[in-house]
Structure 1
């Protein structure tokens, strides 16, 4: 009996040691990632007019557009001048609705397939001049302004242009509501339409550079 037990004890001890070693290896190699939701990816690949844009989900204004893949149009907004996606809107209550609207600090951008329509730069050169007043005013040493005629389709608007840095914007005039500007450009199969307050033209160079930078961030270098 003792002879049989003398063999069983080392075997049992070896089995215990092997089990402990296996448990240790399993513990060390066990994945340590969290099971929490990873949330939205940093960028969504969106194709508009066959042109690829990498869009931060938080900048998309319409929930139905918040998906990757081909889209006919996508509407975005960015905080200016940081060009970061805006924070989620706060819930408005009866107590807070009268606190007043915050200052406009959004640069709005719509990207839409152009379907071979007239390019924005061609519209500035060939269409707008038909409706502009002859005289031009200088906003500063490099930004010029020409008013659209009152009987034109663009009545109560002005065309502001500069060459360095390049800028072309059609702006409504301040009235009951603050004036807004629209600036367009084309990238391959898509037209980009930027909208911003006319008051920003006081720093028009910064606005022009910001639009260039944002287009580069979304589409990448050519």
Structure 2
């Protein structure tokens, strides 16, 4: 009986010691997942991943993320919209999308802005609220798009024009071996400074402050 009592006490002690760890594992994912893209380390919010197959630590060729705007909160809960509701009124996009991919030494966004875009665009239009517009010519690789450049290049974005579907913008930046590609609705350019700050904030959260 003494032996049984001791054995029972040992089992209870082990169960008690292991219980917090087991509870922690059941509680959910870690807050952040370290991911290496192009040899560059990023700490990604576990709820920001758009593809479950990418939701793991370690080296990856590319990760696709999304954040609510303007709160920049990460959520992996999809927004369900019925066909009837969409037909009555198109649902506005409330997220900023970000893809991080290894660039393998292709042309940098800065070089493309300096040497490629001027070949296919018209003259810069007069800035409005500090945001200059440079339309791309028809019959070029960027036809039906415009280039937007904010004061002191606080924001650089290439955007499709509004048509049957709302225009979307692409803004790119490079960090070491990875390129960050942000996508957001063209309509957000009405508050372009806020959008630029949001991209800066996300970049700092993911990769730390840049020197």
The TM-score bracket by the shorter chain reads: 0.7 to 0.9
Question: Which protein has the larger Cα radius of gyration, Structure 1 or Structure 2?
Answer: 1
Q: TM-score by structure 1 length?
A: 0.81
Structure 1 residue 56 and structure 2 residue 45: aligned?
Answer: yes
Tell me the distance in 1 between the aligned counterparts of 2:111 and 2:208: 24
Q: TM-score by structure 2 length?
A: 0.85
Distance 1:113 1:99, change over 3 A: same
Structure 2: gaps (5+ residues): none
Structure 1: gaps (5+ residues): 1-18
Q: What corresponds to 2:180 in structure 1?
A: 192
Tell me the distance in 2 between the aligned counterparts of 1:34 and 1:150: 61
RMSD value, Cα: 2.1
Tell me the distance in 2 between the aligned counterparts of 1:53 and 1:105: 24
Structure 1 residues 116-195: aligned runs within 5 Å: 116-134=105-123, 136-164=124-152, 166-195=154-183
Tell me the distance in 2 between the aligned counterparts of 1:34 and 1:44: 19
Structure 1 residue 106 and structure 2 residue 112: aligned?
Answer: no
SS of equivalent residue, structure 1 residue 64:
helix
CA displacement 1:97-139 (0-9 Å, x = unmatched): 32225321110000000001111011001000000113x2235
* Contact 2:120–2:136 (Cα < 8 Å) also in 1: yes
Distance 1:173 1:39, change over 3 A: same
| Number of matched pairs | 194
Q: What corresponds to 2:57 in structure 1?
A: 68
